[in-house]
Amino acid sequence: MICGVDEAGKGPVIGPMVVAAVLVDNAKQIEDAGFKDSKLLTIQKRRELFDLIKQNYRYEVEIIKPEEIDKYRRKNQLNLLNRKAFEKVIIKLNPNVAYVDAADVNEDRFGMEIKANLTNENDTDVISMHKADSKIPVVAAASIIAKQTRELEIEKLKHQIGDFGSGYPSDERTIKFLKSYFHDNSKWPSGTRKSWKTIERIRPVKKLSDFGD
């Protein structure tokens, strides 16, 4: 049994991060399934493969809320947060081999640290590599589950606070939304990662006149 592990949503200023793992019997089982890095798929194809994976394979998901992300970001420990979530989904699936998309610049170190913290009965081997979602089909499957799960969470959030675009700092629509929301409500919207440098850059600067005489 092998599993692939990947995350989606590490960089946005709005919304959760999602870590997912997919379990299959062996690599040959999915070699013709059409699994690719979720970033290379059309929205429609990603949704189709998402449903296919959910119906045919075991999988696990960890949805990490912005508040938890902020807690680790303020300590400069986002890689640790990633690693802990990877460990959780691997332990739940208990594979013989886990292929993981490395969140550390040192891919071997990332894999060894995961391996050292596994508590499952099976002695899972961990193979960590950069861009694993574009190299290993079962990791691509995990990337599809992670990405589509995050998209569903984003849709829920948009119903709650309004359409903020993609949620990424590079999205002008997201930045305009944040500025406007803060201007109107004197607080950041639900789902905002307040530890992001983006927030510091766009935070309104109080004038001396704002404090009265």
Question: Are residue 141 and residue 174 in the same domain, yes or no?
Answer: no
pLDDT of residue 39: 82
Question: Are residue 105 and residue 195 in the same domain, yes or no?
Answer: no
**Cβ(30)–Cβ(139) below 8 Å:** no
Question: Are residue 182 and residue 143 in the same domain, yes or no?
Answer: no
pLDDT of residue 210: 40
Distance of CA 87 to the CA centre of its chain: 14
Question: Are residue 73 and residue 54 in the same domain, yes or no?
Answer: yes
Residue 101 maps to which CATH number? Answer: 3.30.420.10
pLDDT of residue 211: 36
pLDDT of residue 122: 65
pLDDT of residue 27: 79
Give the pTM. 0.89
Q: Rounded CA gap, 12 and 28, in Å? A: 35
Mean pLDDT, consecutive 10-residue segments, the chain of 213 residues? 95 96 87 78 90 95 97 94 95 94 90 87 88 91 96 96 95 96 94 94 60 36
Q: Say if 57 falls within a structural domain.
A: yes
Question: Are residue 152 and residue 173 in the same domain, yes or no?
Answer: no
Q: Say if 213 falls within a structural domain.
A: no
Q: Say if 101 falls within a structural domain.
A: yes
- Measuring CA to CA, which residue among 118, 63, 126 is closest to residue 87? 118
pLDDT of residue 91: 94
Question: Are residue 99 and residue 118 in the same domain, yes or no?
Answer: yes
- How many structural domains comprise the chain? 2
Enclosing domain of residue 177: 161-204
Residue 171 maps to which CATH number? Answer: 1.10.10.460
Q: Rounded CA gap, 89 and 91, in Å? A: 5
Question: Are residue 90 and residue 178 in the same domain, yes or no?
Answer: no
